[in-house]
Amino acid sequence: MMESLRSSIEGSQPPSKRQKRKTVACRRCHDQKTKCDGEKPCKNCLQSDKTCEYPMRDRKVTVNESYIQQLLAENDRLKRNVNDDESHNGITEDTNGDDDEKRGDNPLIEKEAWFLPYDPSPIYIGEAACTGFSTRVRQLLVNPQLDAALNTTAQWPSRPQAFLLVNTAFSTIGKCYHLSPSSAVRTTLERAYQDLRSLDQLAVCKLFVLFALGEAYSIRSPLDNTGALPGLHYFARAKTILRVIPERPKIDHIEILVMFALYNSVMNRRHSAFRYIGSAMRLGLTIGLYQNMAERQLPDKAARQRRVRLWWTMYVLDRMMSSKVGYPTLLKDEDVEVDLPTDEGLTDAQKDDFIDADYLTASISLARIAGGIIGSLYSRRKLPDTFSQRVQAIFRKLRDWVEALPPSLQLRQEDASSQVARYIVMLHLSFNQCVVLATRPILLHVFRISNRIGGTTEEIPPATLALASTCSHSAGHSYRLLMRSWVNGSFFTLDYLSAQYLFASATILAISSLSNDSHAKSHQNDLESATHLLRQLSMLGNLAASEFCGHLDAVLRSIATFKAGRGESTEGSNLVQASPAAIRPDTVTTEMALFGPLVGDFLTQTDTELGMPLLLDDSALDWSAWAGVLADQEPTPGHINIGL
């Protein structure tokens, strides 16, 4: 008993007080029967200038039986998955899969999140990120120009140049998001050129970030020989002014952070932009922007609308940027109680100060839908509805958005030959992207199945084919809108969203071009034009386009390998069968595709299943047309490998 107690006490003592274990001798000392100090190399070998090697010891360790059983069960599960994958050659009835879907499992994503090492803390890649969908992606560009710009002092532009930059900012990006009351900014700018000392540092900071946005959105030609990003020196000056946010911020602080986020998007710093918007929203919470302010507390209607429009701009950007990088949104809809923006009670001059209320309201609705897509279709949470029901709910909201859109914001067929306001085009591009985000995993699934079963889609449910076709039509419509903007000169050369929407469309067109239906050639032509335009944007200095070009080139190489493996040059798998009465894709808008008969039937049915598998795992993505396309590229620092 005493021996047992002694053993227990010794086992509980710290390592320093335990009896030291006997040192293992190296091979040479063991053979010569000499004492070895256990160092690497040992003293004897070092003095003799001999190689010091130690024998490998297979140590015995004590583990719980439950741990061994867990390892054996995991081994059996992996073996079953491999066998199921090898034996799968078509679409079969799977009652277990149906039960899993009814329990609310998400068939689109893996059960484990992607965390990839990066300097040295891991960085999370969301499932909904475009770069994650298309291929294994690289880390966002690290632009060394910013550090250099921080060491320089930007000079004030001339008075005409300053007003030109401010007006450009308000007439471009300011048409899509609330920046600041434009008349107040122009008044401040006039004061700056009369008596600069009359301005506080916050006003100067706001002017400089507006200069940065104005210069970025006025560029129409390639960058100069220095390669400096337009507006970067102004942005760096603004950053040096606003280094610390006070405990009780003003509304100007929050507006500046929003503009910081917008310029970070121009720099292709998506994570920085996401961080700035998150900070702005949290500051907005501290001053109650998410709540209605009573008229007796703030009688000025324009001041109240400034708060309202600023909050909803942050809301839109939070959800938009979340969908771009695949992160969850910051705030739930039920926590927001502030009214929607309105022009009621504002004078014409006050209306000109702000972003259009109808436009912002439409953007808010799209942002809510985008947040719903991320939360319901790209979530690992157990949800009460089946996957098919969640897709139906998303598409009903998209259809309702189209029906509620004011005539002033609609795109009509006769607009194809005329120039439409750029901010209206951006609104419809955002709508198309929501459709693509909701349907592209279905398109990928249809491609995977049609490729596996020898080029037929007869066993795929019609609703699934209709949704996959809608994805292709939405991508084609986005491409045509962007190309039309490029031709008529309204394209924002350095705009992040324009490059991102073009890249997202190109990846969908890449899959659609592999079909052998009547639209394949049209999709192939659109893909080639979209690729050319993306490369043109890269040459003009669009940093996001430069990154996306690398991903798209890898996809194109993968498709070429896929075709070569099948001995084909232009024909591919039978991805989406076109009906005999199908119209040409270049005349199809996303709205028309949504109101098609097959999609309409899908939305009215209550028991429709899409035939989606329980999980699109790594093995499902190991096919030569899409995955592993960066294997032939040189590794770069910060390289990130992910799947769907």
Residues 6+ apart with CB under 8 A from 234: 154, 208, 209, 211, 212, 215
Quick one: residue 60, left, alpha or beta (phi over 0 = left, psi -120 to 50 = alpha)? beta
Q: Which residues pair with 125 in a beta bridge?
A: 114
Confirm if 584 and 480 have CB atoms less than 8 A apart: no
- Both tokens assigned to 612: 């989606």
Quick one: residue 137, left, alpha or beta (phi over 0 = left, psi -120 to 50 = alpha)? beta
CA distance 375 to 60: 47
From 336, 325, 443, select the one nearest 374 (Cα to Cα).
Answer: 325
Each domain of the chain, given as residue ranges in start order, spans 2-48, 144-355, 438-644
Helices (H), 95-158: 95-102, 130-134, 145-150
How confident is the model at residue 349, as a pLDDT?
Answer: 92
CA distance 490 to 542: 15
**Backbone angles phi and psi of 138, in degrees to 5:** -95, 165
**Backbone angles phi and psi of 205, in degrees to 5:** -60, -45
Mean pLDDT, consecutive 10-residue stretches, the chain (644 aa), reads: 41 44 76 85 86 79 80 81 52 44 55 47 52 44 43 80 96 96 96 91 96 91 72 93 89 97 94 93 93 89 96 94 77 89 92 95 94 83 82 90 92 66 93 92 84 65 85 91 91 93 94 75 89 94 93 89 70 39 46 62 62 42 31 33 28
- Both tokens assigned to 391: 């897709």
Helix then strand then coil, % of the chain, to nearest 5: 60, 0, 40
Give CB contacts under 8 A, 24+ apart, made by 184-192. Answer: 184/353, 185/210, 189/162, 189/163, 192/156, 192/162
Indicate yes or no: pTM above 0.85: no
Coil, helix or strand for 122?
A: strand
CA distance 470 to 594: 7
Confirm if 157 and 210 have CB atoms less than 8 A apart: no
CA-based diameter of the chain, in Å? 100
How confident is the model at residue 24, as a pLDDT?
Answer: 78
Confirm if 219 and 271 have CB atoms less than 8 A apart: no
Q: How far is CA 76 from the centre of its chain?
A: 36
- Both tokens assigned to 536: 């043109």
Quick one: residue 38, left, alpha or beta (phi over 0 = left, psi -120 to 50 = alpha)? left
How confident is the model at residue 452, as a pLDDT?
Answer: 67
How confident is the model at residue 23, as a pLDDT?
Answer: 62
Helices (H), 386-454: 387-404, 422-452
Confirm if 613 and 97 have CB atoms less than 8 A apart: yes
**Backbone angles phi and psi of 123, in degrees to 5:** -115, 135
- Both tokens assigned to 250: 């003003």
Q: CA torsion, points 598, 442, 534, 233, in degrees to nearest 10?
A: 110
Confirm if 227 and 255 have CB atoms less than 8 A apart: no
How confident is the model at residue 18, as a pLDDT?
Answer: 45
